Amino acid sequence: MTDCGQFSEDYELYALGLLEGPEKVAFDEHLAAGCENCASQINAALELNALISSQAPQAAPSALLRQRISQTFAPAPAVRRVAKRWMFALAVAAVVVVALAAGWSYEHAARLRENAVAQTNSAELARLGNAFRILQAPGVKQVTFGPQPAAPHGSLFIQDRVGILLIAAGLPAPPPGWRYESWIVPKNGAPKPIEPFQADPDGPAMSLIPGPLTLADIKAIAVSVEPPNVPATTPTKVILAAPLGD
């Protein structure tokens, strides 16, 4: 192998791709022979070159370039945002229509809509989208529960492949910091927690039980209140149990 010394002043030019002629040929051959020292020196030269290049006078690209980068690498969120907006509007409208169809007052329906509109974060939009999918699913079955207005009352919208949507009103306010939790109550075995959710006192609330489900195995959908910072394993205080019906 040739001596490294003869290349000691060429590392930076080589790393820039600017070494030429016999010097480049000789250096290529030397590197091809596997000189680890020179490979290491080239790495250092790359670093120095990068630092020199970084001294270029500061210039600002147009705002359009950022848009182009966004469209090239991250277009989905923009598309999803539009889709979510539509899904959000449709879901809110559908839930209100369903609430009115279920015999609720306009005040309750309006409050449900306000709650939905207030929940503008993406997770809530996704929930509303899923609620809408259940309401629109073919063969969806509605089962009402708790006909007394003072007690928890509402509807289950049931579709085995898509899931179950629970819309309930008249839920007693939980103690401060506590939360509502929905449960699947199977015909055999222990209740299974589904999701924590919030609702205004006396206001309508919504919980989703995602499908697919084997409806024949489910006895009811229940709602409990649960203390803060404790994972739901068994219902602490059941406030509602809505049978699925036949």
Partner 1 sequence: MPVEHPFEEDRELIKRLKSRDGQAMLALYDKYGGLLYSVIFRAVPDRATAEDLVQETFLRIWNRVHTFEEEKGRLQGWLVTVARNRAFDYLRSVRNLPIQASARLEDLEQAGCFANKEASRDNPADKIAKTAAVRQALKGLSQEQRQVIELTHFEGMTQTEISEKLNKPLGTVKSLVRSALKNLRAAAREEGVV
Phi, psi of 226 (to 5 degrees): -130, 145
Contacts 24+ apart (CB under 8 A), 9-18: 11/38, 11/41, 11/42, 11/44, 11/45, 12/45, 12/48, 12/49, 14/42, 14/45, 15/42, 15/45, 15/46, 15/49, 16/49
Q: Which of the stretches 39-47, 170-178, 185-193, 229-237 binds partner 1 when contact is defined by CB under 8 A?
A: 39-47
Q: Measured from the CB atom, is 71 or 198 closer to partner 1?
A: 71
Q: Does 189 bind partner 1 (CB under 8 A)?
A: no
Q: Does 75 bind partner 1 (CB under 8 A)?
A: yes
Q: Does 83 bind partner 1 (CB under 8 A)?
A: no
Q: Measured from the CB of residue 84, what is the shortest distance to partner 1 in angstroms?
A: 16
Q: Does 56 bind partner 1 (CB under 8 A)?
A: yes
Name which position in 5, 22, 59, 229 contacts partner 1 (CB under 8 A). Answer: 59
| Residue 195 DSSP class | E
Name which position in 65, 82, 83, 117 contacts partner 1 (CB under 8 A). Answer: 65
Give the separation between CA 195 and CA 178, rounded to whole angstroms.
Answer: 13
Contact 224, 179 (CB under 8 A): no
Q: Does 76 bind partner 1 (CB under 8 A)?
A: yes
Q: Please enumerate in sequence order all residues whose Cβ is within 8 A of that of 47, keeping only pairs 6 or more positions apart, or say none.
A: none
Q: Does 217 bind partner 1 (CB under 8 A)?
A: no
Q: Measured from the CB atom, is 46 or 238 closer to partner 1?
A: 46
CA distances in angstroms from 160 to 99, 140, 187, 212, 221, listed in the order given? 21, 8, 16, 6, 14
Name which position in 47, 114, 202, 217 contacts partner 1 (CB under 8 A). Answer: 47
Q: Does 107 bind partner 1 (CB under 8 A)?
A: no
Q: Which of the stretches 65-73, 128-136, 171-179, 216-224 binds partner 1 when contact is defined by CB under 8 A?
A: 65-73
Give the separation between CA 71 and CA 158, rounded to whole angstroms.
Answer: 40
Q: Measured from the CB of residue 49, what is the shortest distance to partner 1 in angstroms?
A: 6
Query: Which of helix, strand or coil describes residue 110?
Result: helix
Q: Does 5 bind partner 1 (CB under 8 A)?
A: no
Name which position in 2, 6, 37, 43 contacts partner 1 (CB under 8 A). Answer: 43
Q: Which of the stretches 73-81, 111-119, 175-183, 214-222 binds partner 1 when contact is defined by CB under 8 A?
A: 73-81
Contact 195, 146 (CB under 8 A): no
User: Could you give the strand order of the β-sheet that contains 205-210, starting from the edge strand earlier in sequence?
Assistant: 141-145, 153-159, 163-169, 205-210
Buried b (16+ CB within 10 A) or exposed e, 117-135: eebeeeebbbbbbbbbbbb
Q: Does 25 bind partner 1 (CB under 8 A)?
A: no
Q: Does 216 bind partner 1 (CB under 8 A)?
A: no
Which stretches of the chain bind partner 1, using CB under 8 A? Answer: 9, 12-13, 15-18, 20-21, 28, 42-62, 64-66, 68-70, 72-77
